[in-house]
Amino acid sequence: MKNGQNIGYVRVSSVGQNDERQLQDINLDRVFKEKVSGKNTDRPQLKECIEYVRNGDTLHVHSMDRLARNLIDLQKIIDELIKKGVIVHFHKENLIFKGDNNSFDKLLLQVIGAVSEFERNLIKERQKEGIENAKIKGVKLGRKNTLNNDQIKELKEMVSNGINKVDIGKHFGISRQSVYTYIKQ
């Protein structure tokens, strides 16, 4: 096996998140970065990364959950990379997969991957429970109104007077869709 390149894959779930802590001290030849949910493997930079890496390369990933959120996807991606002769290095877990069919490595991948998936599912369950509890308590979820009560009343009067919804939106500095949302309130 030839000495290959050190390639990095960095992912955060949203634009507001910072990816700088991932792989910051590792000397990489190329880095594939994206700010997108890891809920599935349909990610442009991940696809490009998998196509780019070659036999002898090492793919560096901060942690398993950056590559995949569930065990099945994680195993598929790692298997695909190993078949290409790529070494996969997860730095947080300190695991390296070389394709040498090491039974202990496979077990670690499956256990840690399953625990990560379980943890993600628990977070989603708690989030769902929190939303349901908030709804029961009458807490208004979602974005706060841009307009105050007087402005909403004025908006509805403008609508009843037949003023164009686009013009109403421009008047209040909101979108036409927001005008419709306020009409329903």
CA distance linking residue 25 with residue 178, whole number of Å: 46
Name every residue whose Cβ is closer than 8 Å to that of residue 29 and which is 6 or more positions away in sequence: 5, 6, 7
13 tagged catalytic: yes
**Residue found under tokens 């308590």:** 137
Contact 89, 58 (CB under 8 A): yes
- DSSP letter at 58 equals E
Q: Is 170 helix (H, G, I), strand (E, B) or coil?
A: helix
Name every residue whose Cβ is closer than 8 Å to that of residue 174 and which is 6 or more positions away in sequence: 146, 147, 182
Report residue 11: phi and psi, to 5°. Answer: -140, 135
Quote the tokens at residue 136. 């029961």
CA distance linking residue 164 with residue 144, whole number of Å: 24
Catalytic one of 13, 14, 175, 178 = 13
Residues acting as catalytic residues: 13
